[in-house]
Amino acid sequence: MKDRKLAFIYTPEVERLSYPADCPFKTQRAGLTRQRLVSFGLLGSEQQAEVVPRQATLAELQQFHPARYLEELQRAAAGDLTIAGLHMGIGGPDTPVFKDLFEYGSWACGAALTAADWLLAGKADIAFNLLGGFHHAMAEKAAGFCYLNDVVLACMRLTAAGKRVACLDVDAHHGDGTQAAFYTCNEVLTISLHESGKTLFPWGGFENEIGEGPGLGYNANVSLPAGTYDGAFLLAFDRVAVPLLEAYNPDVIVVELGMDALSGDPLTHLCLTNNALMDALGRLLRLDKPLLIVGGGGYHVENTVRGWALAWRTCGGEDEHDFSAGMGGCMLASAEWVGGLRDRELAVTSEQRQTVEAELHATIATVANNVFPYHGLGILPASAGASAS
């Protein structure tokens, strides 16, 4: 896909909307990414367009979320949290009640639908909805800062248009809401690489969760041990995600590109740099499929903004050398750069390598053995794969 047309779905309307000040989820990340792209001259051209979305309508939201759930969300946003709303997960520690919860969610969903429509119309090859990525929201339950599931709605819009869809999630948290939406059907292949549910919310997403009924074999989970580093992540990506995507051969790939897998994120325990995520993105680009990229997690704001800006630049085919580093960037003694986009490489201890590899090789083999046969792929031995360098 040469001369890719990129669409950045964004509206300044969302800048007045925010989660509570003490909530780790910061809605400002998408706007800050936009500012970074504008400063680099990477937004506003015909090939790198900025697209204004609209809010999702109630009818569109009801394609996944029941009307009574939407009513409870609106009621809570107006200050009236009911017992029914509490039973739907609203008002918990990770689902606070605030006046903007429904409006922001409907903008995020509308942006996802706008992104899908641009791909379907051939107006973009890759569309970014960094407002969204709310993969924990179930049809009738809020969780994990998520109230309305834009990822599911985008996948549904694409499948309704007759497209073969794969949903790849590399957020540090397992996308349980997205998994649940498609668990019993084969219209969407869901693949998630995430920190193990043994150590991180939502405490699931294990290798034996492979779908049910018609969906059997269309759900793949790779649980990453705490401490997973770049080489180990890419080993899992190459061993599981790439062959499944090649075998399934989707028309469109929806990608949850959460940045909470990066080292230094305050809520997670993985040790990736954005270089690993860009290498994974590069593998997706070589598949030459339209991509719909959604935001997701990322609770270190600056690391998240740099990662998303780097992803946009990578999709745009910019030179792999970090041109922004030449604008005065200097490396700190942490995982951050000032001025540049790429993270520095992080050292991996021998103990970390041994601990991660021992668990990861077994996980990869289990996923392959559970899922690959449904797609005409061979199984792998427990020791599959070279060392994760």
Enumerate the active-site residues: 136
- Integer Cα distance of 314 and 311 in angstroms: 5
Quick one: angle between helices 101-120 and 150-160, nearest 10? 30
Within 13 Å of residue 366, how many CA atoms lie on the same side as its CB? Answer: 15
- Residue 199 CA, chain-centre distance (Å), reads 19
Q: Where are the alpha helices (DSSP H) in the chain?
A: 29-39, 58-61, 67-77, 83-87, 101-120, 150-160, 176-182, 230-236, 242-248, 274-286, 301-315, 350-371
Which of 201-204's residues contact partners 24+ apart within 8 Å by CB, and which partners?
A: 201/94, 201/144, 201/173, 202/136, 202/143, 202/144, 202/173, 202/174, 202/176, 204/174, 204/176
Length of the chain: 389
CB contact at 8 A, 62 and 153: no
- Integer Cα distance of 222 and 268 in angstroms: 16
- Integer Cα distance of 66 and 177 in angstroms: 14
What radius of gyration, in Å, describes the C-alpha atoms of the chain? 20
